[in-house]
Amino acid sequence: MKFLLFTFVGVVHLFSLNSGKAIYKNDISRRTFQEIKEEIARYKDVAKAIINLAVYGKAQNRSYERLALLVDTVGPRPSGSKSLEKAIQIMYQNLQEDGLENVHLEPVKIPHWERGEESAVMLEPRVHKMAILGLGSSIGTPPEGITAEVLVVTSFEELQRRAPEARGKIVVYNQPYVNYSKTVQYRVQGAVEAAKVGALASLIRSVASFSIYSPHTGIQEYQDGVPKIPTACITVEDAEMISRMASRGNRIVIQLKMGAKNYPDADSFNTVAEIIGSKYPEQVVLVSGHLDSWDVGQGAMDDGGGAFVSWEALSLIKDLGLRPKRTLRLVLWTAEEQGGIGGFQYYQLHKANISNYSLVMESDEGTFLPSGLQFTGSEKARAIMEEVMRLLQPVNVTQVFRTGEGTDINFWIQAGVPGASLVDDLYKYFSFHHSHGDTMTVMDPKQMNVAAAVWAVVSYVIADMEEMLPRS
């Protein structure tokens, strides 16, 4: 996941769902809500069959095992790398062998950045080798590195206030972790803000909920007209130590060396597979996760898990011999971490067909035990989603939160298509996010089973109902 824009506001029930009369004004459907409820309730046995297969049956642990095989084989899959290319080839083959339909690749030009060799050594007040990770898209330093005194600040406001002190220095941001969407601004804009006040480089405290001296990388963005300076993340531990040293009046000097380089855009693909709809094949429920990752760890959690429970959703439906009325489309995005490049390309290519998209789903915030679904859509659509989620009572995952989102599906959501995402333990997610620790060790097969069951039930029922989800 690159960054989040939503604010988490919890569960909301706006309708009396027991009402038998049409509760919607200007309802496109002439059916009463009671009729819709009854239609959804008839999926109870199908939902149970999906759950039984995913959680207790022969498909249990399948998405975990499939994912482990891929990420152990190819490792991390950064945008523009050979390993991402290899992963896409493997997945293309996997999806065909799985018997899915219309398996194909949609070309996308994607950024190609490599970190190269990198190091940071504190020279004063004491020699200390620091763990760092260059931030995606950062330029490198000269080969001899940048050796400069440090100005440490805890916020952009403090940087502004102390702007005259920043010139010629390395700015260290020791911003507290509030939540990801707020704190990630320091990763994304830290270099630009530091460059504006004359800094030579910037280092940010890793955006992480928990640390064992673990740097957490991610994309950063330069700005036209502002000098490009090298930028990396350091650990929470080092950021706090530097802050303590500065508060004692210590002069702090760091030597930063980064071999980071941006290469010409590379060829890549969104990977697509379908179960073609029986009655409205042109209408789509899109289920997705991204196949690329950062270049550290295994990209098992971000977003191997999301990609593989999405695949698993289609596998489960196919294994049960089900074919919904609408087309279920799996998309495994490329270059999400570079800012949703694959997702944007897909939107450009397919937006003419937007009226046929009933629901867009992306899992990119972990596939631990889900507590429910985040959903963005009209209140009518939300009421329907709440009914659908009742089908997941057997695995006790029934809540519908606000706000569904995902870097790759936000284009559709902003254009009015209902969107859904999985909700789970974000504290755990941001403990490992974009770090060397994003490996299969974080993943739990039983939790992935439940996540896949939720994903399959929701996507199948929405794809099979008589009518598309109503929009605002």
Letters for 336-365 (x = contact with a copy of itself by CB under 8 A, - = none) are ------------------------------
For a copy of itself, the closer CB: 214 or 398: 214
Measured distance CA(66)–CA(314) in Å, rounded: 14
| Among candidate residues 259, 187, 176, 182, the one with its CA nearest the CA of residue 216 | 187
Smallest gap from residue 69 Cβ to a copy of itself (A): 7
Give the one residue of 125, 261, 279, 348 binding a copy of itself; rule: CB under 8 A: 125
Among 437, 450, 464, 469, binds a copy of itself (CB under 8 A): 437
Contact 286, 53 (CB under 8 A): no
Query: Does the protein bind a copy of itself through residue 126 (CB under 8 A)?
Result: yes
Helix (H, G, I), strand (E, B) or coil at 71: helix
Residue nearer to a copy of itself on the CB measure, 237 or 467: 237
- Does 217 sit near a copy of itself (CB under 8 A)? no
Tell me whether residue 224 is exposed, middle or buried, using C-beta atoms within 10 angstroms of its C-beta: 0 to 12, 13 to 18, 19 or more. exposed
**Residue 48 identity (one-letter amino acid):** K
Residues that bind a copy of itself (rule: CB under 8 A) add up to a total of 32
- Return the residue of 54, 219, 232, 245 that touches a copy of itself, per CB under 8 A: 245
Which residue among 80, 136, 297, 372 contacts a copy of itself (CB under 8 A)?
A: 297
Torsion of CA 449, 450, 456, 457, to 10 degrees: 150
Nearer to a copy of itself, 74 or 452 (CB): 74
Strand 231-234 relative to strand 261-275, pairing: unpaired
From the candidates 274, 336, 362, 387, which is the catalytic residue? Answer: 336
Active site residue 336: yes
Binding flag, residue 72, a copy of itself (CB under 8 A): yes
* Nearer to a copy of itself among residue 60 and residue 431 (C-beta): 431
Q: Cα–Cα distances in Å, from 208 out to 23, 91, 130, 326, 433? A: 44, 30, 17, 40, 7
- According to the binding rule CB under 8 A, does residue 211 interact with a copy of itself? yes
Residue 141 in contact with a copy of itself, rule: CB under 8 A: no
Identify which of residues 305 and 340 has a Cβ nearer to a copy of itself in the complex: 305
Query: Which listed residue (240, 379, 425, 467) binds a copy of itself by CB under 8 A?
Result: 240
Helices (H), 98-198: 156-161, 163-166, 180-196
Q: Which amino acid, one-letter code, is at 291?
A: L
3-state secondary structure of 73: helix
Nearer to a copy of itself, 49 or 70 (CB): 70
Among 6, 1, 2, 3, which Cα is nearest to 414's?
6
The residues, any chain, with a CB within 8 Å of residue 110's CB and separated by 6 or more, are 79, 80, 265, 266, 267, 268, 292, 334, 335, 338, 341, 342
Give the whole-angstrom CA distance, residue 206 versus residue 184: 9
- At closest approach, how far in Å is the CB of 293 from a copy of itself? 14
Which helix or strand (DSSP H or E) is residue 376 part of?
Answer: strand 372-376
Stretch that binds a copy of itself, among 177-185, 342-350, 399-407, 431-439 (CB under 8 A): 431-439
Residue 421 within binding range of a copy of itself, rule CB under 8 A? no
Exactly one of 33, 357, 411, 432 binds a copy of itself (CB under 8 A); that residue is: 432
User: Which residues form the catalytic set?
Assistant: 336
User: Which residues of this protein are in contact with a copy of itself, per CB under 8 A?
Assistant: 68-69, 72-75, 125-126, 128, 131, 210-214, 236-237, 240-241, 244-245, 248, 297-298, 431-432, 435-437, 439-441
